A and B are shown apart, each in its own frame.
Chain A
Amino acid sequence: KAGVTQTPRYLIKTRGQQVTLSCSPISGHRSVSWYQQTPGQGLQFLFEYFSETQRNKGNFPGRFSGRQFSNSRSEMNVSTLELGDSALYLCASTRTSGTPEQFFGPGTRLTVL
């Protein structure tokens, strides 16, 4: 069974640009969560989508947004990039919302110059 896939794996952008990251969950999984991981803050929850609806949202500014498609694939978008947005962005999927075990993808490493 294929795991969670994320594209691209690495990305370099400059301040002020916007970026879109993609996540394909494990087949049959309908819930997708996004996290930002930095050395200083650790893993921080961004948002969760289930059946194309946002169910939970973390404490991030509105520049961070996401969506989920009918095939459960999800995208997250960051507009007006700042240097502090440099991080590893992780996507995790679960079969249903509230299912305890989350399965993570390898992440997208975003560098903002």
Chain B
Amino acid sequence: EDQVTQSPEALRLQEGESSSLNCSYTVSGLRGLFWYRQDPGKGPEFLFTLYSAGEEKEKERLKATLTKKESFLHITAPKPEDSATYLCAVREGNEKLTFGTGTRLTIIP
């Protein structure tokens, strides 16, 4: 069965302290890897789509990268407003999205 594993489960960083979140996956026929941000009490907000190994996408302090087995979400000089749960999802051949359980990121001022 296809699996998506995110690590760490939770991460606390000081403001300005850069780090990376990991998403590893085992799917046959990857048709896209997606990153979402979810704030408490809200639905996930779309961030990035990656399709092939070596691809990178950037948005403000966030950069997503993709290899054949995993994706990284790099956060550079984070601010308290970057605190949220970050979700990774993969789309497989039948177009269903499979989500990881997320990384809860807390940025301490």
Binding site for B on A (CB under 8 A): 4, 33, 35, 41-45, 48, 55-56, 58, 90, 92, 97-98, 100-107
Residue of B nearest to A44 (CB): B99
Majority SS at the chain A contact face: strand
Contact A107 B43 (CB under 8 A): yes
Are the CB atoms of A45 and B97 closer together than 8 Å? yes
Q: How many residues of B contact A (CB 8 A)?
A: 22
Q: Considering the complex of A and B, which 6 residue pairs feature the smallest CB-CB distances, nearest first?
A: A104-B43, A42-B101, A43-B99, A100-B49, A104-B44, A100-B32
| CB-CB nearest in chain B for A45 | B96
Q: Are B34 and A100 in contact (CB under 8 A)?
A: yes
State the CA gap A56–B87 with chains docked (Å). Answer: 21
Complex Cα spacing A56 to B94, Å: 8
Indicate whether A90 sits within 8 Å of B96 (C-beta atoms), given known contacts A100-B49, A100-B91, A101-B49.
no
Query: Residue among B45, B49, B89, B95 with the most chain A CB within 10 A?
Result: B95
When distances are taken between beta carbons in the complex, the residues of chain A under 8 Å from B44 are 43, 90, 104
Q: How far is the CA of A101 from the CA of B32 in the complex (A)?
A: 10
Among A42, A101, A104, the residue within 8 A (CB) of B100 is A42
